[in-house]
Amino acid sequence: MSEPRKIGLRAAIAAGLLVYLAAGLAQLGPGDGERDHIFPFISWNMFAYAPLRGPYYVLVTRNAGKSYDPPREIGEAVASDEQRRIDIVAMANTLAGSVADGDKPRVEAARREIEGRVLTAPWSYDVYEGKNRLATWSSR
Amino acid sequence: MNALVRRAAALVPEWPMSVRVEDAALVLRFFYAGLLWLSATLIYEMRNSYRTILVDADKAHWPAFWVPWAGAEKSFLIASVALVASAFVAALLPQRRWARALVCVALWEYVAVMITIGELFPICHQWIVVAFIFALMPDRFAAPGASKESKDSALLLFWAAQAFFLLTYSMAGLSKFLTAAWQTAHGEPSIFTVKGCASMAADYIMEKGRLGPLGMPLRDAGLLPAFMFAGALAELGVLFLAFRARLHRAAGAAVVAFHVGTYLLMGIFFKSSVLLAGVLLLCSPFAPRDD
């Protein structure tokens, strides 16, 4: 291979790597991991964990006034050892997502599921997305 | 301009004269044989992963513009069979450029169809990038009588495929650090904090019902952020191993270890990437020969 051609090919490869990197950086931000990628070469963040969306804050409080636990973000709640609390968090997050989506049938279904399957005592819920309270309910 | 080109060219490493283009050709055959196995298994694994609802024409990705007319099931079968057939031909004739180009188009089409009728479909994206670069390699570059020019081009492009493969990991690592910095600046937990890891664990539990076998114990011990940090750091740095031929096998081993670790922690496994790491890096023609 002639020297200029060799240099040209090497430079093209180096430029390609940099362009790929730059195009990937341009995609950083909300929406990553979804269908809005520049299709399909630049699906660069395939191994990036989805950005922590929300986060949905779900406060679970006892009606009697005593809190079951201090109000928690879902992350803290799920970090505990109790499988039951994980279940609460999973279902409450479904509830919060449904509220955020304005999906009333799903909200009711998720709420019934929490009341029926997880909670054995009366509870009230405050559902937050970020710092905005989306809803408050009493279970009974 | 000329100086800029020379500077860019200098980024691409030189390798010893002992590197044989025949070895690269053999690895190329492994690549297409691996793709043949992957595409054949995907027919079975993905058979229920597409939506059966009709796809709006304006929602189809452009390479899959025909999907709304063919329907999800037929589109899946057409794209799958085309990929298997093209991989089979390329595994038989890996040095023929037209066969490699055919695979590139079939793979592109397959992913476009799967994203259109299903969800984000990341498992073939690295294969697309590598298949595209391999399609640029000269025709019959390792045949008897092939010119030195075509041999040199082939080796350069093979290295480029390795570098692009590793770049996807470095970019993923970079995105983790940038996202974590953004989240920290906005008062949100990042994946390098106990709280952020717990949120992510909750997300995975809700989506898949479980973490990997070591995920829960490490989460409870508060060690998950340390592993996340180590993994992201390894991803970020792995590209640099591409520039050291004697470390290519180490790079392959690191990528495989990363994926095994991801499975143990998060319960997700990218077998296609492990296969690709094995073919491209553990079998790297630039690595020192062990004979």
CB A73 within 8 A of CB A60: no
One-letter amino acid for residue B270 of the chain: F
The interface residues of chain A toward chain B in range 49-68, judged by CB-CB distance below 8 A, are 49-52, 55
| Residue B201 in tokens | 């664990």
**How much is the pLDDT for A80?**
43
Interface test with B, best of A25, A37, A78 (most B CBs within 10 A): A78
User: What's the pLDDT tens digit per position in A54-77?
Assistant: 444 444 443 333 333 333 444 344
Give the residues of chain A that fall short of pLDDT 70: 1, 26-102, 110-140
Regarding an ipTM greater than 0.90, the answer is: no
**How much is the pLDDT for A79?**
39
**How much is the pLDDT for A2?**
74
**How much is the pLDDT for B116?**
80
**How much is the pLDDT for B85?**
98
**How much is the pLDDT for B211?**
75
**Rounded distance, CA B104 to CA B134, Å?**
9
CB contacts of A19 in chain B (<8 Å) are none
Out of B8, B115, B270, closest to residue A14 by CB: B8
**How much is the pLDDT for B154?**
93
Q: Please give, one letter per residue, the 3-state secondary structure of A81-134.
A: CCHHHHHHHHHHHHHHHHHHHCCHHHHHHHHHHHHHHHCCCCEEEEEEECCEEE
Give the residues of chain B that fall short of pLDDT 50: none
Q: Does A3 touch chain B (CB under 8 A)?
A: no
**How much is the pLDDT for B24?**
94
| Residue B148 burial (10 A CB sphere; 0-12, 13-18, 19+) | exposed
**How much is the pLDDT for B131?**
95
